[in-house]
Structure 1
Amino acid sequence: MTRLFRPLPKTIFGRVLLTLVLSFGAFAVTTVAAIVHYALIPVVQRSTEDLAALMELSAHTLVQLPPDIREEYRARLLDEYQLRLRTEDQPPQELRYYFFPYVTRLSQSLGERLRRPVRMTSNVIDNTRWFWVDIDTAQGTVWAGFPRNRINTKPMAGLLVISGAALWLLIVTSAVLARRMTLPLTRLSQAAEAVAKGRSPDPLPENGAREIASLARQFNRTSQQVRELLADRTVLLAGISHDLRTPLTRLRLALEMLPEQTAPALATRMEQDIEEMNQQIAQAVELGRTLGTGDRHDVELTRLIGEVVGNRPRLRWQPQGACVRAVNVMALRRILGNLLENALRYSAGMVEIRLDCTPDGGAIFVLDRGPGIPASERKAVFRPFYRLEGSRNRRTGGSGLGLAVARQLAVANGMEIRLGNRIGGGTVASVHLAQPEPTAEFTDDSGS
């Protein structure tokens, strides 16, 4: 079905502005129409009727005067009323039709007085436009004319000035009103987005309209409750970590004190279990910490990546020049470390690191040859303690917290992590240093 109307603007500001423009625009049009109909048209009608009567009376008076005083009469009419009379032996030359709203209404008034259709014509005399009409008298035709400056009106210029001023006032007033109405909502949206990213925004001003003030007050309370909840979660996890690590320490001591005849395989398996529990506790506490926004400093990414890679086996990193960007160094180190650990755990081959240094911030890519991540699971793997079936299970050492921590750090520090499939098999994990607009997931087309 064909759409008859364009869609409304997507923002509240746009919709409010459009509503105000349409409302005030309709009011302005109605006002102008009322002024024209009830004020200007009656004035113009009375003015044209008076001028039509003067032109007819002057023409009939001219032919009734003695010839010796006709020129004096014409001079007085021209001087006092800007009205020129010519007899049929001196008709105006080069007449043609010229549209002018006032003259159109004057033609109607003359037609009513002369009882015949009248169409005034025009010519230019000494760079001045004149309008003429022929009037039949008892002694022949008399041409009556007047100059354009006698009317001294500029309807089109006036219409343009009024329309321009009305349009300017309409847009400015509507924009100011719309901005005042939507600014509190914009602040609320920005604050809510900051809370969603793990930040603690400043309290919103609880003023303005009663509904807006109430909404800001409720948001401030909710934001405070969220901060308290996160702080309580951190304290709780820290307490659980402390309580769990105490018996784990005793188990490790007991393991060290086992008799020598204890089977080595059993002792080794118990040590691995204790170490795995320690790692899981550490990752859980790390997730519970305040992973907020950190300070950003200019850093040379090539050197930073080289430090993170270090001497780890199965990593392929080839620096390709300097790339300086403002980032939270500690957060980026932890993100890259988690992504590399993830890639090495689930891939038996080489893991590649690439840097794409672009003006909008750039991106760092970690490419592995593991089993890959199905498209339906790419959002779920960022949830805490979520693990894929198959190769990504507890036996491989994964606790399901690495990607969750990396994503929380990235969101809090203005970065974005994406997951995609690699041509030939494997996963491409990319860290975008400046969050771009949502696009299709990255797919490696290098063929490597």
Structure 2
Amino acid sequence: MRLLRRLVPATLFGRALLTLIVTFGAFALVTSSALVFYALIPVAHRSASDLASIMVLSARTLTQLPPDLRDEYRNRLATEYQIRLAEERPLADSRRYFFPYLKRVEEALSQRLAHRVEIVTSVANGERWFWAAIGVGEETLWTGFPRSRIGTRPLQGLAVVVLVAVFLIIVTTVILAGRVSRPLRRLAEAAEQVALGFSPNQLSETGPRELANLARQFNETSRQIRELLANRTMLLAGISHDLRTPLTRLRLAVAMLPQGTSPDLVARLERDIDEMGALITQAVELGKNLGAGRREVVDLRILVEELIVGQPRVISEGGPRCHCRVDALAVRRIVGNLLENSLRYSRDLVEVYLDCQSSRPVIFVLDRGSGIPEGELEAVLRPYYRLEGSRNRATGGTGLGLAVAHQLALANQIELRLGRRRGGGTIASVRLPSQCWDKDATAAPRRVDARAGGP
């Protein structure tokens, strides 16, 4: 059973196939055993007994006939009963021939002759014969019958039964599992679309009662999620609009402060207002439906160069062009947020590399900061989660940059990974979809850290 579970895939079709194999296999085994023990074996035993009786009787009758009638008797035996009688031992075939019926004939002959009888085989004119030595008085006659006299083909019959059973099991599994797996597959695809931030079409609410009810509940849940996201976006947009008005008044008030006001105080107030504006902008950005945008063919090398231009602590290696069909705005925002995060937490150089040699284009962002603990690599992708406990943006940021990048990556089938860099620091990899790119121009791959998947 464990071997079957390993061989059969862990899918609905595979499980149904395994169940049918076990069920029908057990039924076939019990049925076959009953037929063999209660029908075939008794019939075979009776048939072997009758054949042994005819063989013994034929040999004894031949010895009692006058010599001039023996040839005619042999011919009649061969024609009517397919039995031959010979005085000399036939040339035996040394090859082993599997025929379970012979065992029954040997037992019947041994019982009638009161000594052990062994049947040998020979091949004459392309036909296999079975011979047994029967002693009659002072003579020993070899009595034989051809394989064609026994019309049974047990191995062929078993093969037909097995093939028909396998065919019926597979057809039944396809029909039964298909009726269940198709709606579930559509449900799984729709759930994946919801997870990526899309609004899937309504599922059909027909079919078996359980599946129809499941589709109905999913449609209702999907509708509630869409309404929740729309309400959240509307709420954040309203809060943003309401908060920007007093922020504007604050800016105006700071600008109108008396000339004797301390410049440091004015600078702190302006910085606080700017931080509040940035917080509101990022919160609204996270609240929006960060889905997939329009895809277009872009040169990833040029995209990376445009992102790092003007950045004093960012280095990158050039290379051949690397064309890829992606949502360029989403890739810019993802890599831009990663760069901003690396520059904030690292005082050393930040490195950016583009790898177009592998099966999927990858953009690596590496820094030499304090790094992210192993247990926090997934948590830092959640909104407002920060490793640094204070609310100071100079040391900890807002906790939204990586969350926005992560949500954009999910919506665009982009794989965003964070890892610990050898020697200290963080490595981030942005793996674009494999079907997006054109390998007309490729860049030589760089050796990357095995644990983190990057340089």
2: CA distance between counterparts of 1:73 and 1:407? 97
Which residue in the other structure is 1:442 paired with?
Answer: 452
2: CA distance between counterparts of 1:75 and 1:6? 58
Q: Write the letter of the residue equivalent to 1:136.
A: G
Which residue in the other structure is 2:73 paired with?
Answer: 73
Report if the CA contact (8 A) 2:62-2:73 is conserved: yes
1: CA distance between counterparts of 2:375 and 2:77? 94
The structural deviation recorded for 1:123 is 2.0
User: Which deviates the most, 403-412 or 108-117?
Assistant: 108-117
User: Which deviates the most, 295-304 or 389-398?
Assistant: 389-398
User: Which deviates the most, 362-371 or 229-238?
Assistant: 362-371
Report if the CA contact (8 A) 1:346-1:392 is conserved: no
User: Could you state the TM-score of these two structures normalised by the residue count of structure 1?
Assistant: 0.88
Report if the CA contact (8 A) 1:315-1:351 is conserved: yes
The structural deviation recorded for 1:66 is 1.9
SS in 1 for 2:399: coil
Deviations 1:39-68 (A, max 9, x none): 333332332233222222222222222221
The structural deviation recorded for 1:390 is 6.7
1: CA distance between counterparts of 2:49 and 2:295? 80
Task: Structure 1: state its 5+ residue gaps.
Answer: none
Report if the CA contact (8 A) 1:84-1:144 is conserved: yes
Task: Structure 2: state its 5+ residue gaps.
Answer: 435-448
The structural deviation recorded for 1:391 is 8.7
Which residue in the other structure is 2:348 paired with?
Answer: 349
Report if the CA contact (8 A) 1:85-1:144 is conserved: yes
Aligned residues between the structures: 437
Q: Work out which of the residue numbers 90, 93, 107 in structure 2 matches 1:92.
A: 90
1: CA distance between counterparts of 2:342 and 2:390? 12
User: Could you state the TM-score of these two structures normalised by the residue count of structure 2?
Assistant: 0.87
Deviations 1:270-292 (A, max 9, x none): 11111111111111110011111
Report if the CA contact (8 A) 1:346-1:391 is conserved: no
User: Which deviates the most, 244-253 or 288-297?
Assistant: 288-297
Mark the CA change 1:190 to 1:50 in structure 2 (over 3 Å): closer, same or farther.
same
Report if the CA contact (8 A) 2:387-2:396 is conserved: no
- The list of structure 1 runs, each at least 4 consecutive aligned residues, that deviate by more than 6 angstroms after superposition, is none
Mark the CA change 1:406 to 1:78 in structure 2 (over 3 Å): closer, same or farther.
same
SS in 2 for 1:430: strand
What are the within-5 Å matches in structure 2 for residues 178-189 of structure 1? 178-189=177-188
Mark the CA change 1:361 to 1:91 in structure 2 (over 3 Å): closer, same or farther.
closer
Mark the CA change 1:293 to 1:21 in structure 2 (over 3 Å): closer, same or farther.
farther
2: CA distance between counterparts of 1:98 and 1:413? 67
Which residue in the other structure is 1:59 paired with?
Answer: 59
1: CA distance between counterparts of 2:396 and 2:142? 109
2: CA distance between counterparts of 1:163 and 1:349? 71
The structural deviation recorded for 1:74 is 0.9
Report if the CA contact (8 A) 2:133-2:140 is conserved: yes
Would you say 1:48 and 2:48 are equivalent positions?
yes
The structural deviation recorded for 1:12 is 4.3
2: CA distance between counterparts of 1:95 and 1:248? 107
Report if the CA contact (8 A) 1:418-1:441 is conserved: no
Deviations 1:105-136 (A, max 9, x none): 22222233334332222222333322112223
Which residue in the other structure is 2:134 paired with?
Answer: 135
SS in 2 for 1:76: helix
SS in 1 for 2:162: helix
Q: Write the letter of the residue equivalent to 1:420.
A: G
SS in 2 for 1:75: helix
Q: Write the letter of the residue equivalent to 1:82.
A: Q
Report if the CA contact (8 A) 2:134-2:140 is conserved: yes
